[in-house]
Amino acid sequence: MLAEEPSLIARSQRGDLAAFNALVECYQRQVYNLCLRLLASAEAAEDATQEAFIAAYRRIDSFRGGSFRAWLLRIAANASYDELRRQRRRPAASLEAATAVHSATEVPSPAAGPEDEALRQELNVHLQEGLATLLPDQRLAVILRDVHGLSYEELAEAMRCSVGTVKSRIARGRARMREYLMAQRELLPRPFRLKSEE
């Protein structure tokens, strides 16, 4: 979080586009990645991200304190769901079809070596497939918590529910993810197997 975030938000609420764009620059990576995880398509994620920031600018007046990141990611999640709905109307591009295309979520990590990189990509694919098996609320909770590192309180804000509900969504989502990955144990990269078999 930027130190000057509150003032940037206040200026944005007064219609200062430059201030808002500073916030965009700060959060666009997180917003884009959430959309990417939810949509599993780089193109759709790009559209959803842009839509999310446009919606955020329009609704910035409705932000009443709390975690700006949670507020923004909530808008991003909604934009992603809208995008999903739009995709479903176009039969060619469903979520299943999108998850079949793994390239979108294959994020290269420059620090790793080529072998590690291949393993990581493989795990990435399995994780994305596992996430796709979750219920929407559980998927969002797990992504926001484990991928984006939001606190339970932030999650409660972003998902507009109680911390208790957040806890149960995360627990159920993780349990399902664990079951999915364990079922694919043999297919998983070794590092994961070693970790889980410790």
CB burial string 73-111: b at 16+ within 10 A, e below: bbbbbebbeebbeebeeeeebebeebbeebebbeeeeee
Q: How far is the CB of 140 from other proteins (least distance, A)?
A: 13
Candidate list 30, 41, 87, 138; residue touching other proteins; CB under 8 A: 30
Could you tell me which stretch among 3-11, 65-73, 94-102, 188-196 binds other proteins (CB under 8 A)? 188-196
Give the CA distances from residue 160 to residues 74, 139, 141, 170, in Å, rounded to whole numbers and listed in that order.
Answer: 9, 15, 11, 14
Could you tell me which stretch among 3-11, 13-21, 65-73, 93-101 binds other proteins (CB under 8 A)? 13-21
Q: How far is the CB of 170 from other proteins (least distance, A)?
A: 6
Binding flag, residue 127, other proteins (CB under 8 A): yes
Binding flag, residue 31, other proteins (CB under 8 A): yes
Candidate list 8, 19, 33, 74; residue touching other proteins; CB under 8 A: 33
CB 156 within 8 A of CB 162: yes
Give the CA distances from residue 73 to residues 48, 56, 140, 165, 173, in Å, rounded to whole numbers and listed in that order.
Answer: 11, 10, 10, 18, 19
**Residue 33 CB neighbour total at 10 angstroms:** 19
- Chain positions 150 to 169 lying near other proteins, rule: CB under 8 A, are 152, 167
Question: How is residue 149 written in tokens?
Answer: 């590192």
DSSP 8-state secondary structure symbol assigned to residue 146: I
Q: How far is the CB of 193 from other proteins (least distance, A)?
A: 9
Binding flag, residue 71, other proteins (CB under 8 A): no
Question: How is residue 146 written in tokens?
Answer: 């484990």
Which residues lie near other proteins (CB under 8 A)?
15, 17, 20-21, 24-25, 28-33, 36, 42, 46, 49-50, 53-54, 57-58, 82, 105, 107-109, 120, 123-124, 127, 142-143, 145-147, 149, 152, 167, 170-171, 174-175, 177-178, 181-182, 192, 195-198
